[in-house]
Structure 1
Amino acid sequence: MAQNLYGPRVRMGNWNEDVYLEEELMKDFLEKRDKGQLLIQRNRRLKENLLRQMQLSISEDGCIHYGDKVMLVNPDHPETETALFLGGDLSLCVTPDEVKTHLSDELEVPCGLSAAPAMVPVGRNTFIILSADRDAVGQVLRYGQNFCLGITGGFEDKMLYLSSDHRTLLKSSKRSWLQEVYLTDEVSYLSSWQAAFPDPQLRLEYEGFPVPANAKILINHCHTNRGLAAHRHLFLRTYFGKEAEVAAHTYLDSHRVEKPKNHWMLVTGDPRKDSSTMLDLPTPGAEDSRALDRAADPGAQ
């Protein structure tokens, strides 16, 4: 049968069937809208949760504790290997798949990760320091201790854990083809990490010492002994724009020292301002530094 080029109001061909079909489509649309199942409604809810502002934990003693809410930040450093790179401080963020994002209003597992220049604590970049022992909440995290990094993504009923595993032919990072880092809802040894001191000559001496907040550390995967790394020169086209790839790989220079790609900071909140981090504090100038030194040493002239 030839296609009807006119609308259902024009009484030609199977106009009655076209009228009923249009009514059924409208009824289905209204039913999905009332239940909140439209794609635009699902995307809006997912985006609102991921971009919901969060409050980071405040470290009173300058150390990281189990149960703290922190941001994982790769400090700014110039890339000498290539001229095209993503500059500035980069935070570890949840990056859902673009196709799965349009089909569900929840985070699908496994979920991807990326490094983005987003320094405001929101649902997609606020992680929780977790321990296998529930009684360890509030205790100080120390170098060499196993811990997990969980994230809710702005949702209250679902926790995902930062995990990794050995690279295979079917499972690797998208751009560098190295060991993949992802989020999953299962807690296992694949989701265990350790903090290490950046200087290899003092690493053994610092074993067992508290992990400082807002300071450079190394985050190594326990199962594969690979360091968490941010690839500033490898870009990903994500749901939130251009961001950098994150993988598990240890980069060493000629002195067998980890490169800045493996440097991370566990950033805590600013006690003087909500929805702010300690990185937002202004850097004191030379005059301010001398004034602080004179205040600390009253006998100095």
Structure 2
Amino acid sequence: MQYYTKQQLQGSGKYNSKCRIGNWNEDLEMEETLLKDYLSKRENGTLKIDLFQRRMNKALAPVELTTVKADGYVHFGDVVQVCHATTGSTLSCDIDDKSSDSRVDKTHAVTASTSTDPCVRNAFKIVKYEKATSDIFERDYEDKETLHYGQKIKLMHFPEPHEAPLYLYSKPISTTNFAKFSHFQEIALTPSDSFDSVFVVLHPDVVERSNMENIEGEKVPVGKAVVLQHCGTRQNLCLMPQFKFQNDFGAEYEVCAKTLTVLGKNLTMEKITQGMVRGDLEKPELPNNFWVFISSAIGGSQ
């Protein structure tokens, strides 16, 4: 903070550092010091504008998505965009927006951006969840490379070669973990590879989903809506279009973990008349919970 003498305050509009009044020598030295500091930072590329530009260049660097296979299905290891089915916004991260809670692993903010160009901040790799021990109740699929409904996955932020991977994660609401605006369950990126980072891929049609023998095990097509349910809390990945806020990349939507369902009971009553138990029924989700895996089309067009 710069302090001013009584003479400077009284004559601030009439005098400058060239007029030898007040602390004229100190003012002259201060101007020279500030100029040297500016020139040094500009030469070393440490000005705030330079740091911001490097950050933008890194986050918005183009990424080549995995080309859609001939079968048209999503495969493990694919680099994809996770887009909201109705708004078209893409799941995006801000690596430089970190949590300040020292008691937990550093987490990074996740939002939904209206920019659909494939880049570092909105590209994710689909990783198969592998249990440490075998599970006799886990279904065994013949095609182990293709993603099926009912399978558990992890969404890994597409990392730079020299960087540690980050995983999309969520955990129960607490005093330190909650979404900024909706106060629902937080969605973020974390370097911790734990069960908090595991999601299960569900069919968007709850009627089809209730017929598990018919739908579970079917392959997930590219470009078709799915529901991504957090395994640890059974809350769905959710876009909140009513919460749109500004960050360094522009106006973006909040993303949280929350299962939003329709209020009516028509489907429930219909299934009860068909002999299904009320406890086995699920209400249809709202479009907030519908997402799409987007890959690069053959020929490079999206």
Query: Normalising TM by the smaller chain, what interval?
Result: 0.7 to 0.9
Which one of the candidate residues 271, 287, 295 is aligned to 1:260?
A: 287
Which one of the candidate residues 120, 138, 141 is aligned to 2:117?
A: 120
SS of 1:220's equivalent? Answer: strand
1:133-174 deviations in Å (ceiling 9; x for gaps): 6xxxx9222333322112247786353221111112343112
Indicate whether 1:35 and 2:39 are aligned: no
Task: Spell out the pairing of 1:204-243 with structure 2 (5 A cutoff).
Answer: 204-205=212-213, 206-243=215-252
Q: Where in structure 1 are there 5+ consecutive unaligned residues? A: 77-87, 101-107, 278-301
1:71-92 deviations in Å (ceiling 9; x for gaps): 111112xxxxxxxxxxx41211
Give the distance between the partners of 2:161 and 2:112, measured in 1 at CA. 20
Q: Which moved more, 1:150-159 or 1:165-174?
A: 150-159
Question: In structure 1, what residue type is equivalent to 2:294?
Answer: V
Which one of the candidate residues 84, 90, 93 is aligned to 1:74?
A: 84
1:247-293 deviations in Å (ceiling 9; x for gaps): 101122233112211111111101212xx42xxxxxxxxxxxxxxxx
Give the distance between the partners of 2:37 and 2:161, measured in 1 at CA. 28
Task: Spell out the pairing of 1:1-301 with structure 2 (5 A cutoff).
Answer: 1-2=5-6, 4=8, 5=12, 6-60=15-69, 61-76=71-86, 88-95=87-94, 109-131=106-128, 139-152=145-158, 157-203=163-209, 204-205=212-213, 206-253=215-262, 254=264, 255=267, 256-273=283-300, 276-277=301-302
1:170-223 deviations in Å (ceiling 9; x for gaps): 431122211111112222211111111122333323323332211111101111
Give the distance between the partners of 2:165 and 2:158, measured in 1 at CA. 5
**Contact 2:7-2:21 within 8 A present in 1 as well:** no
TM-score by length of 1: 0.75
**Contact 1:94-1:153 within 8 A present in 2 as well:** no
- CA deviation after TM superposition for structure 1 residue 122, in Å: 1.9
TM-score by length of 2: 0.74
C-alpha change, 1:93 and 1:221, in structure 2 (3 Å) is same
Cα-Cα RMSD:
2.6
> May I ask how many residue pairs the two structures share in their alignment?
252
Give the distance between the partners of 2:66 and 2:285, measured in 1 at CA. 28
**Contact 1:161-1:191 within 8 A present in 2 as well:** yes
Q: Which has the larger radius of gyration?
A: 2
Share of identical aligned residues, percent?
Answer: 31
C-alpha change, 1:174 and 1:155, in structure 2 (3 Å) is farther
- CA deviation after TM superposition for structure 1 residue 3, in Å: 5.5
C-alpha change, 1:156 and 1:62, in structure 2 (3 Å) is farther
Give the distance between the partners of 1:148 and 1:241, measured in 2 at CA. 27
Give the distance between the partners of 1:223 and 1:139, measured in 2 at CA. 24
Q: Where in structure 2 are there 5+ consecutive unaligned residues? A: 99-104, 131-143, 268-282
